[in-house]
Structure 1
Amino acid sequence: MSLRDAIDNFYERLVVDAIEATREESDTADYLTDVMCVALNRLPTRYYRHSIDMMFYLADEELKGMKQKSLAAVKEAREFVREHQRE
């Protein structure tokens, strides 16, 4: 196992959840991938090694705030990607 595979960014999971919550029928895989990239670039990173540790040590209010930030970032990213699509 490489060091790269040993850690993850917790916001990736939250952004995927926010994308799924706001998914529209017309969304393409390319569009959603761009939305994910833009949203993640607008959020801080929160690395963890084991997901159980992250869930155990993360306070409920902090998790709620992270979810809200993720949803807001996804909504902003959707608008940004729509406005900057190549034709």
Structure 2
Amino acid sequence: MKISDDIHNYYEKLVMQHFTLSKFDEKYDEDFLADLTCVVLNQLPTRYIRHEVDMAFYLPASERFEMESKVKTAITKSLEFMQSNQIYND
């Protein structure tokens, strides 16, 4: 059996949505964002899905809110970590 290209971690989408809404691409370069993404995702649990529609219809609002809260917390912690690392300081 081959794992389908459709299977992905739903938290990846939530992280990218937050990055887009916060206009991180205007604030940080690609290398910083790639490292930030890794640091953020390593703090979050995995939630593998095959179809986005499954999450839209079957995810309770309370669980969606909890997932978004975890993403925001992980991003905040990761930004603090990355910015305190001398490699990324101006």
TM-score category (smaller protein): 0.7 to 0.9
**Separation in structure 2 between the aligned mates of residue 54 and residue 85 of structure 1, nearest angstrom:** 39
2:87 alignment partner in structure 1? 86
Q: Deviations 1:59-82 (Å, cap 9, x if unpaired)? A: 011101101110110111111112
1:6 alignment counterpart: 6
Secondary structure at the aligned position of 1:3 is classed as coil
Equivalenced residue count is 86
Using CA pairs under 8 Å that are at least 6 residues apart, name the structure with larger relative contact order, 1 or 2: 1
Matches within 5 A, 1:16-35: 16-23=16-23, 25-35=26-36
Deviations 1:34-64 (A, max 9, x none): 1111000000000001110111110011101
Normalising by structure 2, what TM-score?
Answer: 0.82
Deviation at 1:19, TM superposition (A): 2.1
2:40 aligned partner: 39
Q: What is the rounded CA distance, in whole Å, between the counterparts of 1:34 and 1:54 in structure 2? A: 27
Q: CA deviation at 1:86?
A: 2.4
Contact 1:9 1:46 in 2 (8 A): yes
Query: Does the C-alpha gap of structure 1 residues 85 and 8 become closer, same or farther in structure 2, counting only changes over 3 Å?
Result: farther
Unpaired segments ≥5 residues, structure 2: none
CA contact (8 A) 1:19 1:74 kept: no
